[in-house]
């Protein structure tokens, strides 16, 4: 069985043949992503506060060694877990006076360590920028207060509280990025659909298709005649014939 090969020229011909479909699909997908990003998705704002975990505080080093924390990473990771625990978040919810549950608040928090330092960054995402700032600062304040009772140490300092900027910008969605991704996806999908339709089209379009599929040589072809031109030509032929006949009668 012979393997079918597709030349680069055939690829360009396929794309040119369905260029309008490719452009329309790509435009519609990109436009849909823009509409969803600008008008349907809720903007999310971000606010951050930084806490310094200091071993120089009173009794901090000996207390940490007493509970088995040998490295900075161990006790900082423990602090991260405690900060997002219901014990802390329930108090945060109570101080905020919100109807949210601790589990819902937990999903808005993201805690990370700044490299190998002893600084913890608490990031909060919320549809309301002022609310994000309030949640971040309240969580940091409650954690700083309660950690001394939990571990009997006092080594947490709020290094940089969250602040509300004059013109807060949402961190997501990112409409331009979404539209760029949609453009690429739409273009790839449209091109793929073009080749699929070309593959499913089993009509014979030229002499090469007939020779390849049937294994027969083409002896001749009948051109497609335009009906309008045919009628026009036929009409002229009839008029000329009638003119000749009229002249013959006059001559006789």
Residues of 193-204 as b/e, b for ≥16 C-beta within 10 angstroms? ebeeebeeeeee
| Radius of gyration in angstroms for the set of CA atoms belonging to the chain, rounded to a whole number | 38
Mean of the per-residue pLDDT values for the chain?
80
Spatial separation of the C-alpha atoms in residues 63 and 151, rounded to whole Å: 8
180 assigned to some structural domain: yes
Residue 193 and residue 181 in one domain:
yes
The whole model's pTM is what?
A: 0.67
Contact predicate 184/91, CB 8 Å:
no
Three-class SS state of 168: coil
Domain count, the chain: 2
In whole angstroms, how far apart are CA 20 and each of 29, 33, 105, 125? Answer: 14, 20, 49, 42
pLDDT in tens, 96-116: 988 889 899 999 999 888 877
pLDDT per position as a tens digit, 179-210: 999 999 999 999 999 999 988 877 766 777 66
CATH code at 154? 3.30.70.1130
Residue 26 to residue 6: CA distance in whole angstroms: 25
Given the DSSP bridges, would you call strands 156-160 and 109-113 parallel, antiparallel or unpaired? Answer: unpaired
Is 167 contained in some domain? no
Task: Determine the Cα–Cα distance for residues 56 and 146; give it in Å rounded to an integer.
Answer: 19
Do 83 and 156 lie in a common domain? yes
Secondary-structure percent of the chain, ordered helix, strand, coil, rounded to 5: 60, 10, 30
My answer on whether 50 and 155 are in the same domain is: yes
pLDDT band at 236 (very low <50, low <70, confident <90, very high): low
3-state SS assignment for residue 154: coil
Query: pLDDT digit string (tens) for 15-74?
Result: 898 999 999 999 999 999 999 999 999 999 999 999 988 755 444 444 545 544 444 566
Question: What is the domain extent for residue 29?
Answer: 9-39+173-200
Same domain, 115 and 189: no
**How far is 39 from 25, CA to CA, in rounded Å?**
21
- 154 shares a domain with 48: yes
Residue 176's φ and ψ, nearest 5 degrees, are -65, -40
Kindly state whether residues 49 and 30 are assigned to the same domain: no
């Amino acid at each position: 069985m012979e393997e079918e090969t597709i030349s680069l020229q055939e690829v360009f011909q396929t794309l040119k043949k369905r260029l309008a479909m490719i452009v329309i699909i790509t435009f519609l997908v990109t436009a849909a992503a823009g509409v969803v990003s600008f008008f349907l998705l809720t903007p999310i704002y971000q606010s951050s506060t930084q806490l310094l975990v200091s071993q120089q505080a009173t009794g901090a080093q000996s207390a940490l060694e007493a509970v088995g924390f040998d490295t900075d990473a161990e006790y900082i990771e423990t602090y991260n877990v405690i900060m997002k625990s219901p014990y802390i978040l329930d108090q945060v919810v109570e101080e905020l006076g919100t109807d949210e549950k601790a589990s819902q608040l937990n999903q808005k928090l993201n805690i990370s360590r700044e490299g190998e330092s002893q600084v913890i960054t608490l990031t909060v995402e919320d549809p309301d920028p002022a609310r994000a700032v309030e949640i971040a600062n309240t969580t940091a304040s409650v954690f700083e207060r309660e950690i001394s009772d939990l571990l009997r140490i006092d080594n947490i300092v709020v290094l940089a509280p969250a602040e509300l900027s004059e013109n807060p910008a949402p961190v997501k969605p990112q409409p331009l990025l979404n539209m760029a991704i949609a453009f690429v996806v739409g273009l790839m999908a449209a091109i793929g659909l073009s080749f699929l339709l070309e593959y499913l089209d089993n009509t014979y379009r030229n002499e090469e298709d007939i020779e390849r599929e049937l294994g027969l040589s083409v002896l001749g072809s009948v051109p497609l005649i335009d009906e309008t031109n045919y009628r026009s030509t036929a009409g002229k032929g009839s008029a000329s014939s009638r003119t000749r006949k009229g002249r013959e009668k006059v001559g006789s």
